[in-house]
Structure 1
Amino acid sequence: MSVTGLCQICERETASHTCPGCGAVVCDDHWDGERRLCADCAAGANA
């Protein structure tokens, strides 16, 4: 699947990942590669 557009978290950087948790497209800065989730979902996983 091709990811295009801006990061749905910062709305500045180009999105390069799609979160399987929420479906958000996010940039590298908002991608948790270890958990393979966006930063928002990864933060919720820590709770």
Structure 2
Amino acid sequence: MSVSGLCEICQRPEVDHTCDRCGNLVCDRHFDAQLGICSECVAEIEGGDPADPTGTGDDMPDGVDTYEF
């Protein structure tokens, strides 16, 4: 479903979904299509960080996959 506005989580203009639980307008990155809810609601229900919808939790800079010593 195409809606207009900004993603209420990351402020991107590519909003494609509305959360079935809270009504937030969200982009693809912050929407769980399987559950039909935004990453904030997923984090609230399951725990976790809504800013990291992949759940990787990595603190590495962009472009760095691993560190070798």
Let me know the Cα RMSD of the aligned residues. Answer: 1.6
Larger relative contact order (CA 8 Å, sep ≥ 6): 1
Structure 2 unaligned segments of length 5 or more: list them. Answer: 48-69
Structure 1 unaligned segments of length 5 or more: list them. Answer: none
Higher strand proportion, which one? 1
Q: Does 1:36 align with 2:39?
A: no
Higher-Rg structure is: 2
Higher helix proportion, which one? 1
Determine what percentage of the aligned residue pairs are the same residue.
47
Q: Which runs of 4+ in 1 moved over 6 A?
A: none
Distance (whole Å) between structure 1 residues aligned to residue 27 and residue 13 of structure 2: 6
Structure 1 residue identity aligned to 2:5: G
